[in-house]
Amino acid sequence: MTGIIAFIIVFAVVVFIHELGHFMVAKWSGVRVREFAIGMGPKVVQLRRNGTTYTLRLLPLGGYVRMAGRGDIDAPEIQPGMTIVIVPEDNQVKRISLSSEMALIGGMAVTVDQADLVDALEIHGYLENDDTKRLTWSVDPDATMIEPNGTEVIIAPRATHLESASAWQRLLINFAGPLMNFILAVVLFFGLAFAMPSVTTTTVDQAQKNSPAYQAGIQHNDRITKLDGHQINNWQSMQTYIQTTTKNQVAVTFVRQGVVKTATVKVKKMTDQGQKYQMIGITARQSTSAADRVQYGIHTAGQAFTQIFHSIKDLIIRPDINKLGGPVSIFKTTSDVSSLGVLAVVSFMAWLSVNLGLINLFPIPALDGGKIVLNVIEILIRRPIPEKVENYVTAFGAVLLVILMIAVTWNDIARIFLR
């Protein structure tokens, strides 16, 4: 149960922050955000504030931002012959209901002949008990519409559509989601640095007796700065280098009492309970100082970005579905780290947030990165990309993502549960 709760919280927070980025920049750009949903599936509760309907949905996984425009595929259309309920006020329609389950105070039933809530902002039709006189009602640009599922959202005149924003504004809207994931990760890494009892430094606390480092002359209080000429800024990056090197020895550069020295240290291969690893036999000095905590936060965040970026680059160069993980894999990992405590879950959330941000910047249609590419093309050619072309590209990307998600999910299930 702890693993399930941790998974829901981690996944919800990371996706919520991502969507919050899109939401904030869209509002700033004048794009109407009709709904901000937390979770998926049937609506549980809704609240309207400043032109946006905030909904909490039944399945506590993810969420979405519903912007006005072509991408608002959930928006129902008012078709001729439909019977709707309108609430006129001050010679303008303020509320419209397409739901048969909700009654509106002061509402009147209208059989629609024609409706335009995008450009003309008018409804033409007949009162329910009088089909002899065709009437016209002007619609307030800020009127709301109750959809068949009961969700009440503001209408979307063309000037408020995503497509009406400039290419630069749309680019910023698309980039804002990944950016917020990066900001979340940095905040979490700094939070971890100050929440932990102490943080590791690159200064040696102890060289274990008869270990390769001890035999090479490395001592207590030596501050390691380089491995094989590569700059070392934190203990984790040093561990990663030693674990992944294919060399039998490494050149360790360190500072002792202000003097820079270099020692050649053998890499010892070990096996513990079937797990293979490499070591040189040193432990890190712990610190509780604010300066070291800040440095730890900076370097850990930098390491996360660098390591995940290189992993993605390796995936592109050498594609392998086993290098990808979907919701099943995330659930399994979250369940594993939840047994290690709250700090471990927060650390995983930070790494996952970086991962989600970078993956979303892939130049694949339907992802934020693919949309950004289209925005850049539009900026360069100085004219809008034809709607048909954009729709085809986006549809292709969506199909590709669905196929990839199915393949990754099945691979996760097979790898984790069936082997």
Q: Which residues are catalytic?
A: 19
Q: What share of the chain is helix, strand, coil (3-state, %, to 5)?
A: 45, 30, 25
- Give dist(CA 300, CA 283) in Å, integer: 18
Could you give the CA distance from residue 177 to residue 230 in angstroms, rounded to a whole number? 33
Residue 187's closest CA among 354, 12, 16? 354
Give bridge partners of residue 46 from the DSSP assignment.
55
Q: State how far the Cα of 202 lies from the Cα of 300, in Å rounded to an integer.
A: 13
Identity of the residue numbered 363: P
Cβ-proximal residues to 130 (8 Å cutoff; 6+ apart), any chain: none
CA 95 to chain centre: 34
Q: Which tokens belong to 65? A: 């931002």
Residue 11 Cα distances to 7, 84, 102, 321, angstroms? 6, 39, 34, 21
- Residues listed for the chain: 419
Within 8 A by CB and 6+ apart from 368, the residues are 174, 175, 177, 178, 360, 361
DSSP letter at 158 equals G
- Distance (Å, whole) CA 254 – CA 261: 5
Helix or strand (DSSP H, E) at 109: strand 108-116
